[in-house]
Chain A
Amino acid sequence: MSRFTLIALVAFLPLSSRAADSSHPAQVAMIDQMIEQGWENFEIKPAAVAEDEQWCRRAFLDIIGRIPTGAELDEFLEGSRYDRRRELVERLLHDDRYTEEYAGHWATIWTNILIGRSGGNDRRSMISRDGMQKYLRDSFARNKPYDTIVRELVTATGSTKPGTENFNGAVNFLVDKVNEEKAVLATSSTSRIFLGQQVQCTQCHNHPFNQWKQQMFWEFNSFFRQTRSLRRFVDGTRDIDHAELIDQDFAGEANQADDALIFYELRNGLTKVAYPVFTDGTEIPKSGFVSDVNRRDELARLMLDSEYLDKMVVNRMWSMFLGYGFTKPVDDLGPHNPASHPELLDELGKAFRGSSYDLKQLITWITLSRPYGLSPVLGSANEIDDPSIGEMPKFSRFYLRQMSAEQLYQSMLTATDAASSGSYEQQEQERRRWLSQFVVAFGTDEGDEATTFNGSIPQALMLFNGDLTKKATDTGRGTYIDRLASSGKSPVDRLNYLFMNGLARRPSVNEKKVASALLRSRGGDEKEMLQDMWWAILNSNEFIMQH
């Protein structure tokens, strides 16, 4: 986009937002312009701009995976009214004190994407969840470019487990996906996660809706056929200690390594032949010798040239911040599944490539954009903007959505300063134990799973009565409530503090009345009243929702 059009665009913005926008990157204006165009086309008016406190909570949750502490809220509010949002994004992304949380949050998200919520939890699994997380944490902490991360995940060789020889945590993505069933899972996961191509059906037949043919599946699959996972056992037992992912010469299914082909069967029983060919038709040499051609290296090179790589990642990132992607599902791209804002998807992808795949820049553009800054109110002027009923999202308000289980966990710890006991490993074990209660498997070979952390009764029971809530509302010596109750301010201040801490707002008149009635019922014991109110706050929709 030329500088001239940018200036023209800025001229159309309302006065109030212009001051702040002057310090924003040009990509923010591009997002705003294209989203606003959509509102105009559908003749809707966006919701008001979100309150600063609410926005601060939102940004903390999305960027580092937890709500802000009271002190962090104060720090945010001390900034200039016109610039505090930009300053906060800057701080969360670039201030050293948040590096660890930033990296941990994004490592968690990507671990779930790459190996599922249960990957590595089963004894038969070769995955080291620790190894996967360590690789991702290190990558995000250093703000490794996205294309580098993809290349490393797709081409990795080495050992799964931290502390072993040749450790390379990136191998955990593919280690459980290459041995069984001719690397079918490696094929479908790699194409879906990084290119937004849903190909799992085309293993057996041409896809009924998208452009994928069975031939393309097996050609893509051919790229993984030099790759093997090797189990390394604990001495003298059959327990897997760790695994190694290696590339080795592939003789092909006709046993001729310089022409290493594979066979696949059509539904009518006929057999056909496939060689490695990328989705755009690019062929690579047919040799199965690694010294001639390393098939995964070639695959990564071709993937990195594909525009689908760019579109897929910006679509995914957008959906994580705005609640909906430009397509639904986010990882199904192509002419068969039209996007809500095709031009924006395209341009944002190009801009991201133009930034050399700098994830922190992409996050900055999205979080400073106008749609991300709106309040979560469904009003009469934007009533039709309701993607939950199947409408294409128009991003004219911030869509309510539930926190992830991980965000809730971190937020509860933060809200009650309960973190930082025990080593990183111990804390991680505890966190993982807690998270595992929500995972349900579907009993298929593809390892499909669902989460019961979905707003249903088991989740509500956990928040009503679970240990996490018990701990957070404990009134014993040195606990959060205890410290709050003895913090020497007035009762109203303490109640305000409680609400600010949990919900990033002050209590309403009615809520104060309830608090006073509770205080009465507790025989004037303020600590007990605070405990009751805190329990109510933690269990509320307003706490569990990202808003």
Chain B
Amino acid sequence: MTTNWQTPAGMTRRHFMQHLAGSSAAVTASMTMGNAIYANAEELKKNHKSAILLWMGGGPATIDIWDLKPGAATGGPFRPISTSGDLQICEHMPMVAQQMHNLSVVRSMSTREADHNRGRYYMHTGYVPNPNIEHPSYGSVIAHETLEQRPELEIPPFVSIGGASAGPGFLGMSWAPFSVTSNGRIRNLEMKLEDSRLRERMYALEMIETGFAKRTRDVPAYEHAKVLKKTFDLMTSSQMEAFRVEKEPEEVKERYGTDGFGQGCLLARRLVEAGVPFVEVDLGGWDNHNGIHTILKDNKLPQLDRAMSALVEDLEQRELLKDTVVIWMGEFGRTPRINQNAGRDHFARAWSCVVGGGDLKGGLAVGATNSDGTAVDTEPFSSEDLMTTVCKGLGISTEKTFTSKNGRPMKIAGGGKIISELV
């Protein structure tokens, strides 16, 4: 055993790789290849579709924001105002109102999941939760479907800002969201080790990694290896500049709002510009069972109005909006009836989502609810339908079928129908 381990005499440092390559110790060099290719930003923009999901954790009261019912008993105190599109929205969203020619409100969303976890899952995946299978979320699907267009992308194709988003399901951990805080700072990015030594360490690591995967033949062992590869790419990539949101001019930062959500939206724009196909930005705090209208007026809506309007305007000015679908939604809406605590409770039967950009039409109100907002009057739309439409807006074929690990064929977004008014 001792002799086996001894270094062959006369071996030099530069022979490290050759030595291993010539022995049975040779493994695929996927991790150690590095990343010589770096296309310039113009190249990256070409034909690259992206999506930004503004996720409103807690379930926003869309009856107070996008589909007001002035005069109805359920209407609440807010007034509607006109917009640059062909619809009215809440008076506390004046800046977004000026962007509505780019955005459409689907007012006839009608879903069944009014529990936070179930609703979050359903709206993120287009599937109702099923204990036997985990479905991939928007970000994982879109990253998976568009990554081939951009072999030069070294940073994660699915970034989640300020929240947890939803997972990759059966697509595997290498399609999981890369979660960062809104300041774009990434922990533990720097290793401070000379490059050659890092690569040699990676080689040793891959040896252990591959051996274990081969012995157990189990999925988690292989998934781990894929994530390591992505991590290595990211550590050594100059594209990571995209995360440095602090480099933006002060006036831009202020236009978006200096709070977490505002900076998150700005970071999302930088990432899309750098070629990231899917970014989610989270704004929580919409679970307003108590005193809802004060919270909306004084806090949530001004914050949303500033950041969302800045994002859409900025994307349009940079000519990115035609290739970037923007989606605004939460897990469900809130009850038209105002409860005894001046709040609204969970309500999924009739509510609104907002989409625009990419190949989708803006400025429209699609569908309608009844006079007090308690039911949908027109054709109802589901999460499946919305997700299918977003895929259409990104040029992703909705005929595409995934095969889950147990061999079951699964359509993207549960095989929803396209919302025809939007395309």
Contact (Cβ within 8 A) A445 B58: yes
The proximity string for B residues 193-227 relative to A, scoring 1 for CB distances below 8 Å and 0 otherwise, is 00011001101110111011101111111011101
The proximity string for A residues 378-391 relative to B, scoring 1 for CB distances below 8 Å and 0 otherwise, is 11000000101111
Q: Which of A205, A376, A443, A449 has the most CB of B within 10 A?
A: A443
Which of A460, A517, A532 touches B11 (beta carbons < 8 Å)? A517
Which of A332, A337, A400, A458 touches B187 (beta carbons < 8 Å)? A458
B179 close to chain A: CB less than 8 A = yes
Q: Which residues of A contact B219 (CB under 8 A)?
A: 386, 388, 400
Q: Which of A379, A456, A516, A523 has the most CB of B within 10 A?
A: A456
Cα distance, A440 to B166, chains bound together (Å):
12
Which of B203, B217, B231 touches A461 (beta carbons < 8 Å)? B231
Question: Within the complex, what minimum Cβ distance (angstroms) separates B398 from chain A?
Answer: 24
Of all chain B residues, the one with the shortest Cβ separation from A468 is B188
B252 close to chain A: CB less than 8 A = no
B120 close to chain A: CB less than 8 A = yes
Looking at the complex, which of A6-14, A241-249, A349-357, A533-541 is the stretch in contact with chain B?
A533-541
B345 close to chain A: CB less than 8 A = yes
B114 close to chain A: CB less than 8 A = yes
Of all chain A residues, the one with the shortest Cβ separation from B156 is A457
A235 close to chain B: CB less than 8 A = no
Contact (Cβ within 8 A) B173 A455: yes
Q: Which of B207, B220, B230 has the most CB of A within 10 A?
A: B220
Q: Which residues of A contact B221 (CB under 8 A)?
A: 400, 541-542, 545
A95 close to chain B: CB less than 8 A = no
Q: Which residues of A contact B216 (CB under 8 A)?
A: 376-378, 400, 547
Which of A377, A437, A448, A536 touches B116 (beta carbons < 8 Å)? A448
Contact (Cβ within 8 A) A460 B228: yes
Contact (Cβ within 8 A) B282 A443: yes
Which of B4, B131, B179, B345 touches A509 (beta carbons < 8 Å)? B4
Of all chain B residues, the one with the shortest Cβ separation from A462 is B188
A282 close to chain B: CB less than 8 A = no
Question: Within the complex, what minimum Cβ distance (angstroms) separates A510 from chain B?
Answer: 4
Q: Which residues of B contact A269 (CB under 8 A)?
A: 337
Contact (Cβ within 8 A) B217 A378: yes
Contact (Cβ within 8 A) B179 A440: yes
Which of B5, B164, B173, B283 touches A495 (beta carbons < 8 Å)? B5
Contact (Cβ within 8 A) B16 A464: no
Contact (Cβ within 8 A) A539 B13: no
Question: Within the complex, what minimum Cβ distance (angstroms) separates B41 from chain A?
Answer: 23
Q: Which residues of B contact A328 (CB under 8 A)?
A: 131-132
Q: Which residues of A contact B382 (CB under 8 A)?
A: none
Of all chain A residues, the one with the shortest Cβ separation from B211 is A508
Contact (Cβ within 8 A) A337 B190: no
A159 close to chain B: CB less than 8 A = no
Contact (Cβ within 8 A) B217 A458: no
Contact (Cβ within 8 A) A539 B207: no
Contact (Cβ within 8 A) A389 B404: yes
Q: Which residues of B contact A510 (CB under 8 A)?
A: 23-25, 207, 211
Cα distance, A192 to B347, chains bound together (Å):
23
Contact (Cβ within 8 A) A204 B346: yes
Interface residues of A in 506-543 (CB under 8 A from B): 508-521, 523, 532-533, 535-537, 539-542
Q: Which residues of B contact A547 (CB under 8 A)?
A: 216
A115 close to chain B: CB less than 8 A = no
Contact (Cβ within 8 A) B187 A461: yes
Of all chain A residues, the one with the shortest Cβ separation from B179 is A452
Cα distance, A409 to B284, chains bound together (Å):
30
The proximity string for A residues 389-421 relative to B, scoring 1 for CB distances below 8 Å and 0 otherwise, is 111000000011110000000000000000000
Contact (Cβ within 8 A) B220 A457: no
B163 close to chain A: CB less than 8 A = yes
A204-B345, A461-B186, A464-B235 are contacts. A541–B212 as well, Cβ < 8 Å? yes
B20 close to chain A: CB less than 8 A = yes
Q: Which residues of B contact A379 (CB under 8 A)?
A: 217
Q: Which residues of B contact A521 (CB under 8 A)?
A: 13, 16, 196-197, 200
Q: Which residues of B contact A460 (CB under 8 A)?
A: 227-228, 230-231
Q: Which residues of B contact A495 (CB under 8 A)?
A: 5
Contact (Cβ within 8 A) B188 A378: no
Contact (Cβ within 8 A) A329 B131: yes
Question: Within the complex, what minimum Cβ distance (angstroms) separates A436 from chain B?
Answer: 12
Contact (Cβ within 8 A) A537 B132: no
Question: Within the complex, what minimum Cβ distance (angstroms) separates B266 from chain A?
Answer: 20
Q: Which residues of B contact A444 (CB under 8 A)?
A: 57-59, 116, 284, 287
Question: Within the complex, what minimum Cβ distance (angstroms) separates B277 from chain A?
Answer: 16
Question: Within the complex, what minimum Cβ distance (angstroms) separates A53 from chain B?
Answer: 14
B145 close to chain A: CB less than 8 A = no
Chain A residues in the interface with B (C-beta under 8 A) = 181, 200-201, 204-205, 208, 269, 327-329, 332, 337, 376-379, 386, 388-391, 399-402, 437, 440-446, 448-450, 452, 454-458, 460-462, 464-466, 490-492, 495, 503, 508-521, 523, 532-533, 535-537, 539-542, 544-545, 547
Task: Provide 17 A-B residue pairs closer than 8 Å at the C-beta atoms, listed in order of the A residue.
Answer: A181-B289, A328-B132, A390-B132, A446-B287, A452-B179, A455-B224, A456-B177, A458-B188, A460-B230, A465-B189, A492-B1, A492-B2, A511-B211, A536-B201, A536-B204, A541-B213, A545-B220
Chain B residues in the interface with A (C-beta under 8 A) = 1-2, 4-8, 11-13, 15-16, 19-20, 23-25, 57-59, 112, 114-118, 120, 130-133, 156, 163-164, 167, 170, 173, 176-179, 186-191, 196-197, 200-201, 203-205, 207-209, 211-213, 215-221, 223-225, 227-228, 230-231, 234-235, 282-287, 289, 337, 345-346, 404-406
Report the 8 A-B pairs with minimum CB-CB distance, sorted nearest first.
A443-B284, A443-B57, A390-B132, A389-B405, A541-B224, A389-B406, A536-B204, A460-B231
